Amino acid sequence: MRVALVNANTNAATTADMLAIVRQASAPGDDITGLTAAFGAPLIADPAALAVAADAVLALASGLSGFDGVIVAAFGDPGRSTLAARLQCPVVGIAEAGMAAAAGLSNGRFAIATTTPALRQSIQATAERYGHGAALASIRITPGDPGVLMADPAALEAALADAVAAAIREDGARSVVIGGGPLGRAAAALQQQFDIPIVAPLPAAVVLLRRRIEEAAAGS
């Protein structure tokens, strides 16, 4: 399949990092292209940046018509629904895919661990929009400035591990989504530390997008 990975922030290094994760999760022969938002913020950390990110994603729409599917790689899924209405191919958001995978793996009780406190309400609203409001046990957020934390991979992994442990211990979570595309490598490392499923949203998006592409082909 030919897939566009759309990074809704302006950080090209983040695009490259997420592209490597998606390619690793894809099948041999898949063609994955990364696109970076032309305007907005280098890190989407508050509702205003998320709103601008939606506009930045939609600004890329004219270059997405030749793909079999599109992944919107920001945890708020900015612009996903509007983009899906404009394109002929399936469009999947990483929050959509991560939450769906976690809900399926947890029998309906999952948590989200992430780094952006200002987006708590947006994340809650996203879960409710996708029908997971009752299944979402908690949103656990790491302390401190998210930009500073994400610049230190070891500290990021440790802080997310603490958040996951609290979600399991205090909230009864039976799976945890690591909430953010740039957190993908930490998500993979955390799975080795816990007995419950730790969902990395980028690989989950690859799985969901492939299924939707196959369903679209079967229905045509």
User: Can you tell me the mean pLDDT for 106-124?
Assistant: 94
Q: Indicate if 69 and 106 belong to the same structural domain.
A: no
Q: Indicate if 85 and 110 belong to the same structural domain.
A: no
pLDDT tens-place string over residues 54-73: 999 999 999 998 899 999 99
CATH number at residue 136: 3.40.50.12500
Q: Indicate if 127 and 197 belong to the same structural domain.
A: yes
How many domains in the chain? 2
Q: Indicate if 121 and 165 belong to the same structural domain.
A: yes
Q: Indicate if 12 and 85 belong to the same structural domain.
A: yes
Q: Indicate if 137 and 179 belong to the same structural domain.
A: yes
Q: Indicate if 113 and 78 belong to the same structural domain.
A: no
Q: Indicate if 196 and 208 belong to the same structural domain.
A: no
Q: Provide the percentage of residues in the chain whose pLDDT is more than 70.
A: 100
- Of 74, 34, 70, the closest CA to residue 55 belongs to 74
pTM of the model: 0.94
Question: With bands split at pLDDT 50, 70 and 90, how would you rate the model's confidence at 220?
Answer: low
- Counting every residue written for the chain, the total comes to 220
Q: Which domain holds residue 165?
A: 95-201
pLDDT tens-place string over residues 138-193: 999 999 899 899 889 999 999 999 999 999 999 999 999 999 888 888 888 898 89
Phi, psi dihedrals of residue 152, rounded to the nearest 5°: -125, 90
What DSSP element (H or E) covers 25? helix 12-25
Q: Indicate if 105 and 165 belong to the same structural domain.
A: yes
3-class DSSP state for residue 99? helix
Q: Indicate if 101 and 197 belong to the same structural domain.
A: yes
Q: Indicate if 178 and 211 belong to the same structural domain.
A: no
pLDDT tens-place string over residues 155-165: 999 999 999 99
Average model confidence (pLDDT) across the chain: 94
